[in-house]
Amino acid sequence: MASPTSRVRVHNFTISLDGFGTGADQTLKEPFGHAGTRLMSWAFPTRTFQNMGIHADVPPSVGIDDAFARHWGENIGVEIMGRNKFAPKAGPWPNNGWQGWWGPNPPFHTPVVVLTSHPREPLHMEGGNSFYFFNGTPAEALAYARELAPGTDVRIGGGATTLREFLAADLVDEMHLVVAPIILGRGERLWDGLEKLEERFTIESATSPSGVIHMMFARRG
Amino acid sequence: MASPTSRVRVHNFTISLDGFGTGADQTLKEPFGHAGTRLMSWAFPTRTFQNMGIHADVPPSVGIDDAFARHWGENIGVEIMGRNKFAPKAGPWPNNGWQGWWGPNPPFHTPVVVLTSHPREPLHMEGGNSFYFFNGTPAEALAYARELAPGTDVRIGGGATTLREFLAADLVDEMHLVVAPIILGRGERLWDGLEKLEERFTIESATSPSGVIHMMFARRG
């Protein structure tokens, strides 16, 4: 369904061994809820994440975790994310000043489409970060994203609900999924409603000394 | 809690990527329900499973899948299994003649403790297979199993509910878990209620050319 020159890609999306893409009880201080930093801790030491400004008390790692993480931005011209990746809680915006979790210069450096049923004017920030608030189906959001960045690839940034909807609509061409060996017990499940998803993808897995498992899903044909 | 000379072990227990240890709609013809043979298909080509009498149209494999599978019986003197691994459906026994899914000479060749609230006399079959039907907690079943085979290790044979109960009771010393890259969507979940299980184990993962991921859980200290 995607044109050969614009692929829909997922990178560094991490789930627990029991399939949760984020924990329960998301708050302003805890974007991942009770999961805290446990889902993404594999990524913090990588050179890619340290170059994004993530602080880690170790030399930048350039092993398998970084080999996967570094493709995050290549040829990506726009990201689509769910409302909960931009701000906590559903409902009207907490206040007009809310500019996301990432400080004055977010790490995207592209347009970002935020899926929400609550209208808001576009938010332009430093570093080429512009957030566009959009109400529509995954296919409509994808068309809108491609207008914002013609000819580039589109990254689906999550969270779990957003990714699940794009997978259900068969709009994802490549998915780099990371399985962290933790049992979260509660939160937002990625896999619900995706029975037989594997039939649409070739899947390759690789383990890392950090303990996580990298899985690469590539759409067949 | 286990004595150093009798460990409680799990081998070759396979779950889908979405965490189901068996599918839905188990029947007499389909012990794994709608999952069919998809969960265990990684194991059929191995020398270990072919030596158990599993038919596979390929030469016996001796790679990583067999390297894990072959430890299944070492020093195991008894297995504990849930009622649904022995017979389909809860409730009274379908008939007195039901002798399990495995034909006249099951592959266990040890005593087997079947957890059930429905009393039944022990069933003695060929090849050293004796099934004992037991109603009690996981700890009570373990004590009973150890009486049947003193000084040996005990294998927890599943299904998912039985394994989950033994994990919740912190009775498992070693667990070889296999993750198959399929999304079953429905069935019996392994991980429910086991939040933070990883804190009690060291975990190592390895991928296989067959596509599955082997995970070895070893209880800490």
Residue B141 confidence (pLDDT) above 60? yes
CATH superfamily of this structure's domain B8-219: Dihydrofolate Reductase, subunit A (3.40.430.10)
Segment holding A132, helix H or strand E: strand A130-134
How far does the CA of residue B209 sit from the closest CA of chain A (Å)? 9
Q: Is the dihedral of CA A105, A108, A109, A110 positive or negative?
A: negative
Residue A35 confidence (pLDDT) above 80? yes
Report how far residue A17's alpha carbon sits from residue B18's, in angstroms, rounded to the nearest whole number. Answer: 8
Pick from B183, B191, B194: which is nearest to A194 by CB? B183
Could you tell me if A18 and B191 are in contact, meaning their C-beta atoms sit under 8 angstroms apart?
yes
- A-chain CB neighbours of B211 within 8 Å are 203, 205
Q: What is the mean pLDDT of chain A?
A: 93
Integer CA distances (angstroms), B29 to A3, B87, B88, B189, in order: 45, 11, 9, 21
How far does the CA of residue B88 sit from the closest CA of chain A (Å)? 23
Cα B45 to its chain centre, rounded Å, is 18
**Least confident span in A70-84, A88-102, B79-93:** A88-102
The total of other beta-carbon atoms located within 10 Å of residue A28's CB is 11
Pick from A184, A185, A191: which is nearest to B18 by CB? A191
- A-chain CB neighbours of B185 within 8 Å are 191, 193-196
Which amino acid, residue A47?
R
- B-chain CB neighbours of A64 within 8 Å are none
Residue B157 confidence (pLDDT) above 80? yes
Please name the residue of chain B whose CA is at the shortest distance from the CA of residue A20.
B18
Tokens 């007009």, residue?
A96
Residue A149 confidence (pLDDT) above 50? yes
Percentage of chain B beyond pLDDT 70 is 95
Report how far residue B117's alpha carbon sits from residue A66's, in angstroms, rounded to the nearest whole number. Answer: 52
How far does the CA of residue A217 sit from the closest CA of chain B (Å)? 10
Residues 151-210 of B with CB under 8 A from A: 179, 181-186, 191, 193-198, 203, 205-207
- A-chain CB neighbours of B205 within 8 Å are 181, 207, 211, 213
User: Under an 8 A CB cutoff, do A183 and B205 touch?
Assistant: no
Residue B2 confidence (pLDDT) above 50? no
Encode pLDDT of B17-64 as tens digits. 999 999 998 887 888 999 999 999 999 999 999 998 888 889 999 999
pLDDT of residue B27: 83
Residue B1 confidence (pLDDT) above 50? no
Residue A3 confidence (pLDDT) above 60? no
Pick from B184, B185, B213: which is nearest to A205 by CB? B213
The mean pLDDT of B176-199, rounded to a whole number, is: 98
Q: DSSP for B110-172?
A: SEEEEE-SS----EE-GGG-EEEEE-S-HHHHHHHHHHHSTTSEEEE---HHHHHHHHHTT--
Is A140 within 8 Å of chain B by CB? no
Please name the residue of chain A whose CA is at the shortest distance from the CA of residue B200.
A182
Alpha helices in chain A (DSSP H): 47-51, 64-69, 83-86, 138-148, 160-168
User: Under an 8 A CB cutoff, do A183 and B196 touch?
Assistant: yes
Encode pLDDT of A89-114 as tens digits. 656 666 667 888 888 899 999 999 99
Which residues are registered as beta bridge partners of B14? B178
Task: Tell me the HSE value of B121 on the side-chain side, using a 13 A CA sphere.
Answer: 5
pLDDT of residue A2: 46
Cα radius of gyration (chain B):
17
Pick from B18, B182, B207: which is nearest to A19 by CB? B18
pLDDT of residue A164: 98
Sheet holding A8-16, edge to edge: A123-124, A130-134, A111-115, A76-82, A153-158, A8-16, A174-180, A213-219, A201-207
Dig out the tokens for B144 from the structure: 């009973």
CATH superfamily of this structure's domain A8-89+101-202: Dihydrofolate Reductase, subunit A (3.40.430.10)
How many angstroms separate the first and last alpha carbons of chain A? 11
The mean pLDDT of B85-112, rounded to a whole number, is: 83
Report how far residue B1's alpha carbon sits from residue B106's, in angstroms, rounded to the nearest whole number. Answer: 31
Percentage of chain B beyond pLDDT 90 is 81
Encode pLDDT of A19-33 as tens digits. 999 999 888 788 899
pLDDT of residue A1: 47
ipTM of the complex: 0.92
Integer CA distances (angstroms), A215 to A123, A191, A202, B40, B206, in order: 34, 14, 10, 20, 12
- pLDDT confidence band for B92 (50 / 70 / 90): low
Residue ranges per domain, chain B?
Answer: 8-219
The mean pLDDT of A136-144, rounded to a whole number, is: 98
Please name the residue of chain B whose CA is at the shortest distance from the CA of residue A196.
B183
- A-chain CB neighbours of B198 within 8 Å are 17, 181-183
pLDDT of residue B4: 55
Tokens 């996301």, residue?
A100
**Least confident span in A80-84, A92-96, A154-158:** A92-96
pLDDT of residue A221: 79
The mean pLDDT of B167-172, rounded to a whole number, is: 98
Residue A190 confidence (pLDDT) above 70? yes
Alpha helices in A17-62 (DSSP H): 47-51
Report how far residue B193's alpha carbon sits from residue B184's, in angstroms, rounded to the nearest whole number. Answer: 20
Could you tell me if B113 and B132 are in contact, meaning their C-beta atoms sit under 8 angstroms apart?
yes
User: Under an 8 A CB cutoff, do A196 and B185 touch?
Assistant: yes
pLDDT of residue A173: 98
How far does the CA of residue A51 sit from the closest CA of chain B (Å)? 28
pLDDT of residue B90: 59
pLDDT of residue A91: 62
pLDDT of residue B24: 94
